[in-house]
Structure 1
Amino acid sequence: MFVLFNVIITVVLDLIGMAVRLVSILGFVYGLAVLIPSLAVGVRRLHDTGRSGWWLLIGIIPIVGTIILIVFMATPGDRGDNAYGPDPKLEPQPTA
């Protein structure tokens, strides 16, 4: 959802920038504002699949790195606990 909302907001800001004849400064400022949260979401998603957050750097490689990163992000997360913590989709077990 985070990525979807960011894409929608960026497209709207770019359209507003083109309509007002700005040099897309609105989209740039928004992109700068969500840089750190975007990195955090990417690292968290990689942790869900049992991979280190350093795998985000593979996106630097043109085309191939981006494709590999998309595959990593699209794979389902690990069931149960992994090295980065418990499965966020598991419901907490009642204690008593």
Structure 2
Amino acid sequence: MDWYLAVLKNYAGFSGRARRKEYWMFALISFVISLVLSIIGGLIGTDFLSYIYTVAILVPALAVGVRRLHDTGRSGWWLLIALVPLVGAIVLIVFLASEGKPETNQYGVNPKLAPQGI
């Protein structure tokens, strides 16, 4: 949960780098929250809660995705490859799951070496 909250605290931080753990823990917790809200919405007969949550986490989700791509040495614009049907999503998942560059790159120092406070 600390990783999820750390992403929310850095709400619109598109600069820097994000570790794999930060990205994937955010994705997992967001998925679980969305699933729970969908079930609750199904029980009460509305999807309003899911829509509100999706809009609320859109910017932090994009920001952590961009920072994750920065960690692999790629530009955040690579997120747009997901718009290519089927192949784009697979390529993006491979990029997001790849090991980050161990050395300092143009986007900052290796987040594994930087103090996290988590």
The answer, yes or no, to whether TM exceeds 0.5 is yes
CA deviation string 1:40-73 (max 9, x = no partner) = 0000000000000000000111111000000000
Q: Give the partner amino acid of 1:28.
A: Y
Alpha-carbon separation, structure 2, partners of 1:12 and 1:89: 32
Q: Cα gap change, 1:10/1:91 in structure 2, threshold over 3 Å: closer, same or farther?
A: closer
**Is contact 1:80–1:90 with CA below 8 Å preserved after alignment?**
no
Confirm or deny that 1:13 pairs with 2:45: no
Q: Report the TM-score when normalising by structure 1.
A: 0.91
Q: Which has the larger radius of gyration?
A: 1
The number of equivalent residue pairs is: 91
List structure 1 segments (4+ residues) > 6 angstroms apart after TM superposition. Answer: none
Confirm or deny that 1:57 pairs with 2:42: no
Aligned twin of 2:62 = 39
Q: Report the TM-score when normalising by structure 2.
A: 0.74
Which fold has the larger relative contact order, with Cα–Cα distance below 8 Å and residues 6 or more apart in sequence? Answer: 2
Question: Identity of counterpart residues, as a percentage?
Answer: 55
RMSD: 1.1
1:15 Cα shift? 0.1
Q: Cα gap change, 1:91/1:31 in structure 2, threshold over 3 Å: closer, same or farther?
A: closer
- Which stretches in structure 2 are left out of the alignment for 5+ residues? 1-24
SS state at 2:40 partner: helix
1:28 Cα shift? 0.9
The aligned runs of 1:23-38 (5 Å cut-off) are 24-38=47-61
